[in-house]
Structure 1
């Protein structure tokens, strides 16, 4: 398993996007994004944020993500079951890594939080966008435990459907294998070299 360490000196990202926010919320999730490439990235910023603490589980967060950002016509029991199973496995791995009980509410001060910190476009059309995403996950096993941070790269597609950006059920445009950027967090010179764009959340 590869590891990544952020350099101790800060290098300003060369590319920034003030990602637009949604115009309304469904439950805890923002929806109603502009019909533009920036709007698609804004939806990906909103949909990529996960906050697991207390009695909330990753299964809860992933199911909310699925129902909020998947068009009704694309939802199926099989897909929902895959979401449940994958999230349950990820939740179990996180608990095991932190040395926490397999089930039940997380102890006070324990949490896992993920958010989008960078992106690189694969393709952008008026009604479809595919992008590489740079995700930062921080986790803490308790109030007195140190915070652990990790980064991951994924590729996701979204389509304009029912007046908003929704997950592309096909997964989006497949990038060339050698075009996937390597992990490099904002502040790392490699972030610029890899072509990442940093995220600022618009007010």
Structure 2
């Protein structure tokens, strides 16, 4: 499917912002508790539609677009990691630059949308700051369960139903260097899921905030303020993508 066709298809799908309080998307509740209490409390799996401030919310916010495809004004080729993680075979050891921090955040976000606890845990071990890593890793099963609930997959544990899918495609990024060792990053992505074989896929637009810190010779993620204001999610190929100054993520020959 071409990007233009994808763009038109997105307009017919439900658009939502899934506001998340930390660098590892599926562990919202854990991150919020860690950020507020230092990790002394236990957490439950994040609810796809919780009440209160302890988890994500889904609200239709994407602006309508009745025009044709609009090419991104700006693109960024994020650097590759120089090595792979010991578990999960994930890219690590990114350059000590703002672009390297953004690349880590994008890799973390992409991996976090997984239905498998082992993959969620691998992402936590690869990308989380040591201050939070162990506490978050213990919640990996809850994170995968929360992802299944978000994708309306039943049951939310055990073998996956045939055709059940959850995929994240980062499409845009913004990053601001606080200093040489701290970079704030916003990742814009499409998250597509189907509960079972034959189910119509649903795509949401998501804005994910994170903070990258230079630690042990690599970029690692730390929790962000769950109350921070976030931009509305917008799709690539619309004028709003350019108006909101997103950088389109270029991967190989593909945007």
Tell me the TM-score range normalised by the shorter chain: 0.7 to 0.9
Deviation at 1:31, TM superposition (A): 0.5
Instruction: Select 2:147's aligned residue among 90, 102, 125.
Output: 90
Q: Secondary structure at the match of 2:124?
A: helix
Q: Which ranges of 4 or more aligned residues in structure 1 deviate by more than 6 Å?
A: none
Q: Does 1:163 align with 2:217?
A: yes
Please give the root-mean-square deviation of Cα atoms over the aligned residues, in Å.
Answer: 2.8
Instruction: Select 1:23's aligned residue among 76, 82, 87.
Output: 82
Could you tell me whether the CA contact under 8 Å between 2:125 and 2:133 is conserved in 1? no
Q: Secondary structure at the match of 2:59?
A: coil
Q: Any idea what the Cα deviations from partners look like across 1:96-145, whole Å, max 9, x if unmatched?
A: x25x3333222332210113211222444221100222121111234433
Q: TM-score, normalised by structure 2?
A: 0.65
Deviation at 1:51, TM superposition (A): 7.8
Tell me the equivalent position of 1:144. Answer: 198
Q: Does 1:104 align with 2:158?
A: yes
Q: Any idea what the Cα deviations from partners look like across 1:19-66, whole Å, max 9, x if unmatched?
A: 1111111132111111111111111121111387xxx73533322111
Flag structure 2 segments of 5+ consecutive residues without an equivalent.
1-57
**Aligned ranges 1:44-193 → 2 under 5 Å:** 44-50=105-111, 57-71=115-129, 73-75=130-132, 77-82=134-139, 84-94=141-151, 97-98=152-153, 100-168=154-222, 171=224, 177=229, 180-193=230-243
Could you tell me whether the CA contact under 8 Å between 2:115 and 2:147 is conserved in 1? no
Could you tell me whether the CA contact under 8 Å between 1:117 and 1:199 is conserved in 2? yes
Give the number of aligned pairs: 192
Following the alignment from structure 2 to structure 1, what is the Cα–Cα distance between the partners of residues 186 and 121? Answer: 22
Following the alignment from structure 1 to structure 2, what is the Cα–Cα distance between the partners of residues 76 and 126? Answer: 22
Q: TM-score, normalised by structure 1?
A: 0.79
Following the alignment from structure 1 to structure 2, what is the Cα–Cα distance between the partners of residues 199 and 20? Answer: 11
